[in-house]
Amino acid sequence: MTAEKPVNSAVGVIGLGIIGSRVVANLRRAGYPVWLWNRTVRPEPNFLSSPAEVAEASRFIQIFVSNGEALLSVIRNMAPALTPAHVVINHSTVSPAETLEAAEIVKDRQASFLDAPFTGSRDAAGRGELIYYIGGDEEVLQTVRPVLEVAAKQILHIGAIGHASAMKVATNVISATQIAALTEALALLDRHGVDLTKLSLALENNAARSGVIDMKLPGILSGDFEPRFSLKNMFKDIQIALAMAEDKDVELPAASAFAGMAMAGLQRGWGEEDFSVLSRFYGYTGRNPQNSEPAPWGELPSGESPSNPAPVKSLANLWGLLGWKK
């Protein structure tokens, strides 16, 4: 059952990217007064000049920014305007350490803070079907639940502040490495002359099937890399995971391999495309899988574009890229 809208329910949204802009649309449809700020000025109603002004106009503040540095900058800017009535909700994927630092700044102003990263793509956000992972006080969660439910189909309380951030990073490690494995499996099939469209049929009743594979496989085969989750953001999240692992002396070889592959994609200018664009390295995307060569791992020669890469004979360069020896 949807909770009742709280009294004094003005909502501030900071960050109007792929997800934040769709959350704003859902809030407006639900009748919430919404106040906005984005680093790049947008021609939106109720767009204010700073995060501090958003805090002055709103009780609940939802933050959708790109990284920990941006989060802390926003929090510090709004801190003087925070009061005990405010609840600051961070939806950005950042490290647990950055989450705890942001929460401490908010706590110093006697305001409340929730660690609330989400899972769900652009389309899920548009439909109001995000899933929020929550770290923080359950009473604070109940206060803001009606606001969160506007854009969510599920709200999961994970634990203390920082725990939800760790969960989000961990699930992104799973997504990234699954898609890396999928691109390799498709390359193996392609080189052996197998119709790649048969893979979805083979996976239909196979334990290897997953939601992220169901989501990404059609776009990989058609060459549609319109961003649902950009390569640059997935690379950022895997870098967070590797830093978290190093801090606890844990090895993440699969995540490390994905990071190397993603870096090569970023160097090719693919950062704004969906992270499944890494399949483009193998040359089978968007065409007859039996009649093409893989894309190169190095710099693009003059006159080429990422959508029309030159052929190479092998992917041996990958191991040098990752700093490994064969």
Alpha carbons 205 and 306: distance in angstroms, whole number:
35
| Residue 3 domain flag | no
Question: Taking 90 as the threshold, does the pLDDT of residue 321 lie above it?
Answer: no
Of 160, 186, 208, the residue that ends a domain is: 160
Identify whether residues 315 and 170 lie together within a single domain: yes
Domain count, the chain: 2
Identify whether residues 114 and 201 lie together within a single domain: no
Identify whether residues 19 and 148 lie together within a single domain: yes
Question: What CATH number is attached to the domain comprising 274?
Answer: 1.10.1040.10
| Residue 79 domain flag | yes
Of 160, 181, 214, the residue that ends a domain is: 160
Q: Tokens 């760790």 sit at which residue? A: 166
Beta strands 118-119 and 130-135: pairing type? antiparallel
Q: Tokens 């699930």 sit at which residue? A: 171
Q: Are 158 and 135 in contact (CB under 8 A)?
A: yes
Confidence at residue 88, expressed as pLDDT on a 0 to 100 scale = 98
Identify whether residues 314 and 276 lie together within a single domain: yes
Can you give the residue range of the structural domain that contains 99? 11-160
| Residue 298 domain flag | yes
What pLDDT, in 10s, does the model give residues 103-141? 999 999 999 999 999 999 888 999 999 999 999 999 999
Beta strands 60-63 and 112-115: pairing type? unpaired
pTM here is: 0.85
What pLDDT, in 10s, does the model give residues 153-192? 999 999 999 999 999 999 999 999 999 999 999 999 999 9
Question: What CATH number is attached to the domain comprising 123?
Answer: 3.40.50.720
Alpha carbons 251 and 303: distance in angstroms, whole number:
40
Identify whether residues 156 and 177 lie together within a single domain: no
Identify whether residues 188 and 307 lie together within a single domain: yes
3-class DSSP state of 12: strand
| Residue 76 domain flag | yes
| Residue 2 domain flag | no
| Residue 236 domain flag | yes
Alpha carbons 306 and 317: distance in angstroms, whole number:
18
Alpha carbons 267 and 183: distance in angstroms, whole number:
19
Alpha carbons 10 and 31: distance in angstroms, whole number:
10
